[in-house]
Amino acid sequence: MGKVRLKVLKDVSLRVEDGTSVAIMGPSGAGKSTLLHLLAGLDTPTQGDVLWEGGSVSKLSDAKRAEFRNRMIGIVFQFYHLLPELTALENIMLPGLVSRQQSPSALRHRASECLGQVGLRTRSRHRPRELSGGEQQRVAIARALVNRPKMLLCDEPTGNLDSKTGGEVASLLMGLQRQERLSLVVVTHETELAALTDATIVLRDGQIVDESVADRSKH
């Protein structure tokens, strides 16, 4: 900030086990989104490291980090970021077109499959302006899944939705996480969403001030 150096995160250590879900909570400005961006390889830490299966993500070149993110990470944002001129199906296909791991026909089939997973198969030809907020977020979730990532990172995925629609999207996310056997990290202010995850950490002033693990034996 100008000539003032801001330390957004301080001595934060977080481990996400394969196939588990973690909620990150805390007040605005606590460093939640910065932590998520570090996990995604969108930012690199000035100190410390981000490790994926024992290898450093932070030390990768920009191109290799982008390739890693495209193939291994699915990202869902609060504000959808759908391209308005493309249909729902075409928006979902975009990460696959970048990675070129699938033929165009296989990619279209996979995108249609993802659209079905979020309950919008009949809306494939609709453009974002023709979809509700909840439907747009479902398309964004399907887009994040199209390359079969191992980890899904969500930044306030229900923050722009009313409580009913937000609850539906939260349930959908958790169902897909179990179905696809994904690791899930979600930044949220919603205690209802956090309660569905395996563990919750609370950030304040760039530090972890609380950690809790859900007791699933009660369910």
What pLDDT does 219 receive? 46
Size (the chain), residues: 219
Hey, what's the torsion of the CAs at 147, 194, 213, 50, to 10 degrees?
Answer: 40
Strands (E), the chain: 21-25, 51-52, 55-56, 73-76, 151-155, 183-187, 199-204, 207-213
Which residues, listed in sequence order, are joined to residue 145 by a DSSP beta bridge? none
pLDDT 10s digits, 74-97: 999 888 889 999 999 999 999 888
Mean pLDDT to the nearest integer, 100-113: 89
pLDDT band, residue 187 (cuts 50/70/90): very high
Q: Does residue 74 lie within any of the structural domains?
A: yes
Q: What is the residue-averaged pLDDT of the chain?
A: 88
Q: Does residue 4 lie within any of the structural domains?
A: no
Distances (CA, A) of 13 to 35, 169, 201: 10, 29, 11
What's the CA gap between 60 and 68, in Å, rounded? Answer: 9
Q: Does residue 36 lie within any of the structural domains?
A: yes
Q: Does residue 1 lie within any of the structural domains?
A: no
Cα 183-187-188 angle, rounded to 5 deg: 125
Overall domain count for the chain: 1
Q: What is the domain range of residue 110?
A: 21-218
The answer to whether residue 216 scores a pLDDT higher than 60 is no
pLDDT band, residue 41 (cuts 50/70/90): confident
Mean pLDDT to the nearest integer, 114-131: 93
Q: Does residue 3 lie within any of the structural domains?
A: no
Q: Does residue 85 lie within any of the structural domains?
A: yes
Q: Would you give the distance in Å from CA 92 to the centre of its chain?
A: 15
Task: Give me the CATH number covering residue 65.
Answer: 3.40.50.300
Burial 190-210 (b: 16+ CB within 10 A, else e): beebbebbbbbbbbeebebee
Q: Does residue 15 lie within any of the structural domains?
A: no
Q: Does residue 8 lie within any of the structural domains?
A: no
What pLDDT does 3 receive? 64
Q: How far apart are the first and last CA of the chain?
A: 47
What pLDDT does 91 receive? 95
Q: Parallel, antiparallel, or unpaired: how do β-strands 199-204 and 207-213 relate?
A: antiparallel
Q: Which residues are CB-neighbours of 189 under 8 A, at least 6 positions away?
A: 25, 156, 159
